């Protein structure tokens, strides 16, 4: 079967760092995506990893270990606007996205 796990909810403080983990088991793998979704809006693309390692984009970084079926999204210098759901998705062998349930990130002042 195919399974993607990520924490349901996390809380962090403005200005701090938070790491959102994603573990997966899928029958095919063509990359892992992280998306940000604010309430009531469509997801927006954050990152794509297909090779092992860390990809850094400004305040956001994403890490992938294919052998461990593990990824994380690292958010630095948290801002209040970062309060959103963060969705981990795997692209399978048919180039379709298999979605995790999302992690709701709450930022406190």
Site for another protein, rule CB under 8 A? 30-31, 33, 35, 41-45, 48, 50, 87, 91, 94-97, 99-102
- Is residue 105 within 8 Å of residue 84, measured between CB atoms? yes
Q: 50 vs 106, which CB is nearer to another protein?
A: 50
Alpha-carbon gap, residue 30 to 33, rounded angstroms:
10
Q: 10 vs 97, which CB is nearer to another protein?
A: 97
What is the closest distance, in whole angstroms, from the C-beta atom of residue 10 to another protein in the complex? Answer: 16
- Is residue 82 within 8 Å of residue 13, measured between CB atoms? no
Q: 60 vs 99, which CB is nearer to another protein?
A: 99
Alpha-carbon gap, residue 25 to 90, rounded angstroms:
9
């Amino acid at each position: 079967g195919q399974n993607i796990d990520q924490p349901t909810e996390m809380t962090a403080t403005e200005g701090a760092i938070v790491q959102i983990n994603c573990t997966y088991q899928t029958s095919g793998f063509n990359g892992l995506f992280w998306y940000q979704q604010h309430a009531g809006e469509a997801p927006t693309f954050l990152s794509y990893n297909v090779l092992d390692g860390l990809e850094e984009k400004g305040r956001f970084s994403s890490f992938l270990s294919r052998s461990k079926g593990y990824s994380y999204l690292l958010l630095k210098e948290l801002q209040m606007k970062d309060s959103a759901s963060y969705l981990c998705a795997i692209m399978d062998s048919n180039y379709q996205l298999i979605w995790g349930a999302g992690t709701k990130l709450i930022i406190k002042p």
